[in-house]
Structure 1
């Protein structure tokens, strides 16, 4: 195990089995768990609102950390309950025409939020593995500009890094706002690319708690938003971001996220991103030889996500369940609903963090072969 992996693992409780599911929910550290627990205890001791006031510096530090990872300012950041909540806040507050351009492989729940907010969705051009075709996209956006451009920088169903910075340059030249879904990307790949808004969840590669996320919005873009609550006609002395951030929330989870962000920055974002890319290459090399499965991503794709498509009729859902029940190995079953306009069949996703070893991946490959035969 690398020194980085050893430090990452030693900061966490011992895993019960083999956790290869960080793309869904990473393992929290002792410090994150303790911080959330301590705040809950403090609420009981002094009252929730007194405890909230005392926690303000920790929450401010979390906003500063999000700002560092998104290339924005701490004053541009609000906490949410997760990525879908952040997107809904953003789209429901948009005052312009309701047209949005995104990739054919857009995340299904994002498409549902777009539809619920009355947005007409246009497809951006992509290559045969779902990566944005930048030059073609630039031409399409110039010829028929939408009100917003939305990019999921790293998808849930396929570990392909999108050219977010290049698209941000295109959108800037065309005067089009770019919104980035960084739920899989933040802490995994570079996200400070010049977007107008970036949102993410806590629980994936940052290894924070569930039920909390963040939304970062540049001031010029925020000026174009009109949040529903409180009603704008009340003319209350509140900024757009103050109106977007819910006051009644699980503050312990926000504190846990702040601590997780601090730990992530202390480990070193570039170092962790490099470690994730390396474990991804190792995973794809190791699993490529398992009969009945095809690795979707190029072997050197700089992510820790490996997507396995069945080639001989295996059921990814049954295989995942067998791996958990029989070997204690946690992976992800990715159903078609994750990308309804691109996926033709379900897949199995393996997403280790930086502490996963070559021996553990070999164990996974052996178990996958057994699961395929049994399930």
Structure 2
């Protein structure tokens, strides 16, 4: 059994969980904070904050560079985070996991180290209209350097990927396919296993952006069948500047290093350098050691709550919030996929998204407004921006009610 799927408690005590998150108790503009910007970054439980604090107070040293006691402690903690994360996503080996600053660095690593040496004029990279810029711009940079092209599979008005069209676009010139596991704007969950199966039939490697999936659901990279899986720590209760790239062993062994420097070598001579084995050959320089200590504590926290309980509660919140939003006159939901994670984008007729977000902030409600680093998706829906409320398992129905009350109030001010 994957550790993520450990049985969860029969009763989900959200108030007990909220007590573990210090920031949730603060006020904003003299109002209790309602934090609905979790797709942007999650809040951190006290155990994560304390783990980082303890590292700097008691174990602060560089990793893999000393035989003294605290150096060994720091190294054990850092490499222990790799072990936990490998188990968390059910990697075959810890050596398949490159620790990075987040999904953006992970995807760029694949772009520069895997794609760039292989692409040539006439080749193509396939992505989708719903991708975050981090899964578009690196491929455009590669295309500009190699003469390859970037193709985007379409979505429908519900915000669902047209899977048969994606599969149809897996033509022989496609040398790499990409897809987000969960849309950061729509919450849409894409059928990664089906896509990976079709890619394997054609010998096309598949990269998955897992930033918005890992905080909400168990991820098993072996079961998914993809070739690369990128994730970000700060969206999953961890410090900023943490993340990882999981990749199949054969890819990592064939890929040249992306960055050069210390800790990614066996020996440096002026007549040539011998690189370390994966994953270390991709980890030049001093890493975010304390950040990964925090990520390790975050994984422990997820295990203590259980993903069955997390997913059940978040789906209840998503359904309730969607139902309440439908009550608001002139509100348009953007993205109504059948399978979603708790991300809701919407517009209100006659009101700018940024104005709504600004006024909601004065009511203590933190939501996101803008294009959400997804310009092509905004262009598809023919809107400049949306308002996005993204929920997490520490949010409550009472917060949803207060959000709706605040939204009705600010809507009235703008009408």
Which TM-score applies when normalising by structure 1?
0.90
Which of 331, 335, 353 is equivalent to 2:367?
331
Q: Pick from 180, 186, 197 the counterpart of residue 228 of structure 2.
A: 197
Offset at residue 86 of structure 1 (A): 1.1
> Alpha-carbon deviation of 1:80?
0.9
* 172 and 265 in structure 1: CA distance in 2 versus 1, 3 angstrom threshold: farther
Deviation at 1:300, TM superposition (A): 5.9
Instruction: Find the counterpart in structure 1 of residue 250 from structure 2.
Output: 220
User: Could you say which residue in structure 2 is the equivalent of 1:147?
Assistant: 175
Aligned to 1:371: 410
2:41 corresponding residue in structure 1: 25
Q: Which residue of 1 aligns with 2:156?
A: 127
Deviation (angstroms), 1:52? 4.9
Larger Rg: 2
- Counterpart among 65, 69, 74 of residue 55 in structure 1: 74
Contact 1:157-1:334 at 8 Å conserved across structures: no
Helix, strand or coil at the partner of 1:307: strand
- Does residue 96 (structure 1) correspond to residue 121 (structure 2)? The answer is no
Instruction: List aligned pairs for 1:41-190, cutoff 5 A.
Output: 41-42=57-58, 51-72=70-91, 73-94=93-114, 95-97=117-119, 99-118=124-143, 120-141=149-170, 143-190=171-218
8 Å Cα contact 2:331/2:347 also seen in 1: yes
Q: Does 1:361 align with 2:397?
A: no
Q: Distance in 2 between matches of 1:369 and 1:271?
A: 31
Q: Which residue of 1 aligns with 2:29?
A: none
Equivalent residue pairs, number: 369
Measure how far apart 1:43 and its partner are.
Answer: 5.4
Q: Could you tell me how far 1:288 is from its partner in structure 2?
A: 1.6
Secondary structure at the residue paired with 2:279? helix
SS of aligned partner of 2:239 = coil
* 2:225 match: secondary structure: coil
Shift of 1:154: 1.1
| 2:290 corresponds to 1:270 | no
Distance across 1 between alignment mates of 2:177 and 2:358: 37
Evaluate the alpha carbon distance shift between residue 122 and residue 161 of structure 1 in structure 2; reply closer, same or farther with a 3 A threshold.
same
How far off is 1:274 after superposition? Answer: 2.5
Alpha-carbon separation, structure 1, partners of 2:62 and 2:371: 43
Shift of 1:145: 4.1
Matched position secondary structure for 1:200:
strand
Residue of structure 2 equivalent to 1:307:
345
Is residue 159–residue 336 contact of structure 2 (8 Å, CA) maintained in 1? no
Tell me if the contact between 1:104 and 1:124 (Cα under 8 Å) persists in the aligned partners.
yes
Structure 1: segments with no counterpart, 5+ residues: none
2:240 to 195, 210, 230: 210
Say if 2:25 is the partner of 1:15.
yes
Unaligned runs of 5+ in 2: 1-10, 27-32, 266-270
Distance 2:15 2:87 in 1: 25
Q: Could you tell me how far 1:152 is from its partner in structure 2?
A: 1.0
SS of the residue corresponding to residue 37 of structure 1 reads: helix
Say what the alpha-carbon RMSD is for the aligned residues. Answer: 2.4
Q: TM-score, normalised by structure 2?
A: 0.82
Q: Aligned partners of 1:104, 1:297: CA distance in 2, in Å?
A: 13
Moved more, 25-34 or 333-342: 333-342
Q: Distance in 2 between matches of 1:58 and 1:27?
A: 22
Q: Equivalents in 2 of 1:70, 1:244: separation in Å?
A: 20
Distance 1:125 1:228 in 2: 31
